Chains A and B, each alone.
Chain A
Amino acid sequence: MRGEAGPGAALPGGRRRAESDPTGPGTGPGLGPRTPVPGPGAMMRFMLLFSRQGKLRLQKWYLATADKDKKKMVRELMQVVLARKPKMCSFLEWRDLKVVYKRYASLYFCCAIEGQDNELITLELIHRYVELLDKYFGSVCELDIIFNFEKAYFILDEFVMGGEIQDTSKKSVLKAIEQADLLQEEDESPRSVLEEMGLA
């Protein structure tokens, strides 16, 4: 992946934690570690791509969510992830979810998974997606994703569906995308020729 690989935004601050129990430890043995417990389930809830500047580049929600909530969650999560320092680990517990993110050049790839899902395999999934983008666009950069954002979606849709990985083979995903594109070109070919004429 090309693109500038500058230092991460070194914002101070840390993770959001649940407000502490107001009853205090005097309540006796009931008090344990206060980490929010991620719920059961092992599916991906959503995937976000955003830039270092906090611009959303792609969002895919695998659980239908109201627009308002989506916006709020995206804003909040972006803030949390962008505030993390570059050497920090890629996982964090956020709300009742686990967030796995990885930065590739100027883009953050960020997945929210359910409590029982495997963080490392999600990281692997992100990496595969980047590889797929890379293969498809040929050394992908942020601009490719901005200007061909629908393609980025198509690739993701071939790779992950309903929050579950669809095909673990990169080859078959790329093959499916290429074939679908071929179909699209058949549709478009007369027009694009004419368009070029028009533009000329």
Chain B
Amino acid sequence: MALKMVKGSIDRMFDKNLQDLVRGIRNHKEDEAKYISQCIDEIKQELKQDNIAVKANAVCKLTYLQMLGYDISWAAFNIIEVMSASKFTFKRIGYLAASQCFHEGTDVIMLTTNQIRKDLSSPNQYDTGVALTGLSCFVTPDLARDLANDIMTLMSHTKPYIRKKAVLIMYKVFLKYPESLRPAFPRLKEKLEDPDPGVQSAAVNVICELARRNPKNYLSLAPLFFKLMTSSTNNWVLIKIIKLFGALTPLEPRLGKKLIEPLTNLIHSTSAMSLLYECVNTVIAVLISLSSGMPNHSASIQLCVQKLRILIEDSDQNLKYLGLLAMSKILKTHPKSVQSHKDLILQCLDDKDESIRLRALDLLYGMVSKKNLMEIVKKLMIHVDKAEGTTYRDELLTKIIDICSQSNYQYITNFEWYISILVELTRLEGTRHGHLIAAQMLDVAIRVKAIRKFAVSQMAMLLDNAHLIASNTQRNGICEVLYAAAWICGEFSEHLEEANQTLEAMLRPKVTTLPGHIQAVYVQNMVKLYASILQQKERSGEKEGAQEITQLMIERLPQFVQSADLEVQERASCILQLIKYIQKLQIKEVPVAEEVIALFAGELNPVAPKAQKKVPVPEGLDLDAWINEPPSDSESEDEKPKTIFHDEEQRHSRHRQPEIDEEELARRREARKQEQANNPFYIKSSPSPQKRYQDTPGVEHIPVVQIDLSVPLKVPGMPMSDQYVKLEEERRHKQKLEKDKKKKKQKKEKRGKHHRHNSLHTESEEDIAPAHHVDIITEEMPENALPSDEDDKDPNDPYKALDIDLDNLVSGKPSRPLADSEKLPVQRHRNVETLKSPDSEAPLVEKKSKKPKKKEKKHKEKEREKGKKKEKEKKVVEEEEEKKGEDLDFWLSTAPPPASTTQPQSEPEVGAAVVPEAQEVKKEEREEREEEEEEEEGKKSSKHKKKKHKKEKDEKSKDKKKSKKKSHHSEEETTESVQNGTLDDEPLPPMSSYRLLAENPYIKMTYDIQGNLQNDSQVTVSVIFENKSTSFLKSMELNVLDSLNTKMLRPEGSSVHDGIPVPFQLPPGISNEAQFVFTLQSIVMAQKLKGTLSFIVKNDEGSTHEKLDFKLHFSCASYLITTPCYSDAFAKLLESGDLHMSSIKVDGISISFQHLLAKICFHHHFSVVERVDSCASMYSRSIQGHHVCLLVKKGENSVSIDGKCNDSTLLSNLLDEMKETLSKC
């Protein structure tokens, strides 16, 4: 034996070990590849030997070579051999090699399953550890499925060292084998309270990562994490939890409110920058998600901004960078708070670190206002001049353009200034963004009519100095601006003063060195110029001049005819022929100018970039169907335009149909405008306030304010744009002075004109009037364009598979117990005495998690006690869904959980009681549903109003009606009379607005909520109580748990915990209605309030005290009040552009359109404004005055609803509710 060992060692003496290999590679720098291939040959020899030590050494060397980039996949089998060595030394090397080079495509990986399983159950914890570590790198779906159960068992290993590794690797297993999530989750959750901090933090890591991918399934864990957050001192864990809360709050705004305080405390107290940064980030996220609900968080924002300012001012570049990064998140929702730190951000532009400068640039984008735009851009222009390196300069360039053009040029008050900026930017050499500048020039010149004259003069100058620009002819280089310049000069040639000079500039021989697409535009626009010169000359009778210009064209055009570029060549030869023909006519002294100019008659309208895409496909048109027989060889046509310029050219050809003269065009335009104005269904796209001008008739007649050019156009020694800064300052100063002085009538008139502009923007900017009328033409969109393009979520998202409902597991109430199919596969032939099936594990988890020492647990306990009691007394069990959220709701609605310590503990029973309870739930649910149906059948409805009652209730006592009349008069107009079918030709199905609130063998409650027009913060809840029993019900008292937003109005002097007595008693079989008023702050979101009805049941045997829990659901629709609206007012409303837009589509609708509208009217309190065929516009108003406009369209089996509303949250919630209603149709 010893001899053999000695022999092995002697063998090894001649082998290289890793050190030798490394040294060798370092010594063979010149012929490294050759040396390594030699080494690989040696390694191959070594791998053939039986000695495992030699093999391990070889694999170790291979691992090193793999890092250097050499392929070692051929040795996969040898690696497995080394993995299965019994000695830890070798095993370790084997697993390392495997973790470095195995992946899902490695075919031998399936051979490792049993080896890994063996190592996982090794008595040596380091064997297990090394196997887990390796597996975490190369786990495949197969391995995950086969080993999930083994790993799950390891989560309860006695050694924390193994537990923490097992917990961490579970995440990888879930990803590869999502089916394992449900069975493994209870145990994972249990690990959140593991005594070992390492295991605990591992569990936090895994659950946080899971939860952040699919937050909604983990909402009910919030209380547990909240507790961890307030008790943990480990920053690593805290960061994870805080991050998790950041993901949960958008789903549950109440959580955000609860979080703000502890987070602010942490921000104040922590010294760890990483934690501070995380807290600030989460507070920002929370505030963003709350921004609609809670107005009083400016203190928190201020705190964040303050802390971030400290970070940005820090000398540590990292903190500076992150500070700016976080600041940009605040900017999106609270621009004001950030804007006050403009100085600091501008300072960062001077930072030596480019990444910081770029961050600062990002921030500037959101910080500009009308006031400071010029100043900021000026600063950026200075940076452009000093910037070294084209990358950063290009970045500055694009940023300047982004900043100026954002929100449809919202912040530009002086377009001359902007054109000058663009022209100045053309001096940049070596930029790759020539096309960007060009696109801006085109856009501004086309859409801002008032600026055309100025733009044309500037462009003519550019064309004249083309030699300066054209030196750089690379694609997308600065020469692209010539494209824009040529087109603008040609198209708007009527504004050109020295057309001759420009034409000559365009005909220079140097032009032929420009890229083809630019030459093509040159050629085309030369003709436009030529046409206008011709016209001018003919009008003034200069026949010679006209002939001269024709001659010039004929002389110079041939240089383009010879072009290698097809487009240029073709255009040039056509035009050359045309002009030759003109020359002939000119010689015959025929006037030609009018005919030539007619070639270019008509105006080009800007078309929105997505317009084509948004044209709805007409019904019955199948775009994929062949029109003719498919051709034999499939030619692939590239439909996508490659650059905007191609796009532009297409526009040319489309609009330039010579047979349509201007009159015809104008007529059509007028007709279209008329049509649109009269069409209430035409929802105009108006992304920015300026666009509201678009269809205002006669906008051209608004007199344009003259620019006060008291300062000469050229200020010597100063770049062009700077002069505007000065001018602007003076102008503003003057304006201010004027304003401060007296208010003359004449001035009032003048200002009145501006006022419409100004009022669109923030108050602080109100006093800045644009220098001249900004007549921005809106891009055209097709009628009935589909409003938004949804970006679909990535269907390949690996985390989607983990979107698994865990709620019943989470809340410890397995109402859906793990099915057999959900058990993890267990290797039966192996010794499984240590393995427990997941099912037997579940109750264990519960027991553990129900330790009464925790506050939350106590609360749950209490809830469960209640549940049990109900169970015993055969009372109604709440809907399953409600149960799920119950704990969370309670936790969220009350700040400190009640410290009830007197509750008796009876854990074993609890576990047993759960399952029958679950069954009970299902049964009750079914009953409920049946009853609801019955109820609905018995009810009548009208088209517009809600008040319907069961027939059996008609006989109901009069006092009910009385009480109703008292509290809201809106019901007076519609009593319980049978209005069925009186308004419409076809009968409507019976509908009831009364929904079931709660029910038990004694009593049934249904309710309806109505808004109160008189009071914008109150709604009235009418509850019908029906005595179902044979006993007498009395002393009914209704109580709800108020939320921050919604509170029950109680008589003065009573506390929030007092209930409100129901003002009647109920004899057997009788029902009656009572009303309760609720106050609320925000109405943009639906609310749920938990409540209890307590009452005394009195019969022959005596009296008992009973309780019935319920949940009051305030839907968003209940805040709406049916309000009629005339179609013209409706159209005006839509045009105003103040409304947010959103839409839904529901498929599988079979009911008639009329029924559908009736349903929306009835359940969602809308009124029909107008209806045409299968299209209708509807309107409603919230109690707080939000306008809600709908456009409902019915297609085959589907309904699409486009909505507009002042508040986007309210709208999306309303639409969601509608979707739910409709999907039941």
Contact = CB atoms under 8 A, between A and B. Distances in A.
Contact of B12 (A35, A165, A195): A195
Nearest to B642: A22
A85 to B, nearest CB: 8
Interface in A25-49: 25-29, 31-35, 40-43
Given A13-B389, A121-B239, A198-B13, A24 B644 contact: yes
A74 to B, nearest CB: 8
B398 A89 contact: no
B164 A167 contact: yes
A54 B688 CA distance: 50
Interface stretch (A1-9, A105-113, A130-138, A179-187): A179-187
Contact of B389 (A14, A43, A120): A14
B22 A147 contact: yes
Contacts of A23: 439, 609, 644
Interface stretch (B259-267, B401-409, B531-539, B1182-1190): B401-409
Interface in B235-279: 235-237, 239-240, 243, 273-274, 277-278
A183 B96 contact: no
B131 to A, nearest CB: 11
Nearest to A58: B67
B687 interface: yes
Given A40-B212, A62-B137, A179-B126, A28 B608 contact: yes
B499 to A, nearest CB: 26
B126 to A, nearest CB: 5
A26 B391 contact: no
A104 interface: no
Contact of B321 (A32, A61, A64, A89): A89
Interface stretch (B201-209, B914-922, B965-973): B201-209
B354 A65 contact: no
B209 A43 contact: yes
Nearest to A190: B5
Nearest to A19: B432
B355 A195 contact: no
B9 interface: yes
A interface bracket (residues with beta carbon within 8 Å of B) = 35 or more
B402 A31 contact: yes
B175 to A, nearest CB: 9
Contacts of B171: 162, 164
A14 B391 contact: yes
Given A24-B644, A118-B243, A161 B274 contact: no
A64 to B, nearest CB: 4
Interface in B1-40: 5-6, 8-10, 12-13, 18-19, 22
A132 to B, nearest CB: 15
Contacts of B137: 61-62, 64, 162
B687 A167 contact: no
Contacts of A123: 274, 318
Contacts of B104: 64
Contacts of B443: 24-26
A25 B198 contact: no
A89 B317 contact: yes
A90 B133 CA distance: 28
A199 interface: yes
A194 interface: yes
A154 B134 CA distance: 11
B96 A154 contact: yes
B89 interface: yes
B729 to A, nearest CB: 26
Interface in A99-153: 116, 118-121, 123-124, 146-147, 149-150, 153
Given A29-B687, A176-B161, A184-B89, A22 B643 contact: yes
A26 B440 contact: yes
Interface core residue of A17, A90, A91, A161 (most chain B CB under 10 Å):
A161
Interface in B413-441: 433, 435-436, 439-440
B534 to A, nearest CB: 31
With most chain B CB atoms within 10 A of its CB, the pick from A28, A180, A194 is A28
A118 B282 CA distance: 11
Nearest to A23: B609
B136 interface: yes
Contact of A88 (B73, B136, B353, B799): B353
A88 B609 CA distance: 39
Contacts of A65: 103
Contacts of A119: 277, 318, 322
A118 B89 contact: no
Contacts of A22: 435, 643-644
Nearest to B25: A146
A159 to B, nearest CB: 11
B322 A33 contact: no
B169 interface: yes
B87 interface: yes
Contacts of B73: 67
Contact of A120 (B63, B138, B318): B318
Contact of A198 (B10, B354, B435): B10
Contacts of B68: 56
A32 B405 CA distance: 10
A183 B124 contact: yes
Contact of B320 (A25, A89, A168, A195): A89
A3 B96 CA distance: 27
Given A42-B243, A58-B67, A194 B201 contact: no
B531 to A, nearest CB: 26
Interface in B131-175: 132-133, 136-138, 161, 164-165, 168-169, 171-172
Nearest to B688: A29
A188 B356 CA distance: 52
Given A157-B133, A161-B168, A164-B206, 17 more contacts: A25-B406, A26-B405, A26-B443, A28-B408, A32-B406, A42-B240, A56-B69, A88-B317, A88-B353, A119-B318, A119-B322, A123-B318, A153-B96, A162-B136, A164-B205, A166-B168, A168-B197
11 contacts: A15-B355, A62-B136, A65-B103, A87-B352, A87-B353, A89-B320, A153-B96, A162-B136, A162-B137, A180-B130, A183-B89
Interface of B: 5-6, 8-10, 12-13, 18-19, 22, 53, 60, 63-64, 67-69, 71, 73, 87-90, 92-93, 96, 99-105, 124, 126, 129-130, 132-133, 136-138, 161, 164-165, 168-169, 171-172, 197-198, 201-202, 205-206, 208-209, 212-213, 234-237, 239-240, 243, 273-274, 277-278, 317-318, 320-322, 328, 352-356, 358, 362, 365, 388-389, 391-392, 395, 398, 401-402, 404-408, 433, 435-436, 439-440, 442-443, 608-609, 643-644, 687-688, 779, 799
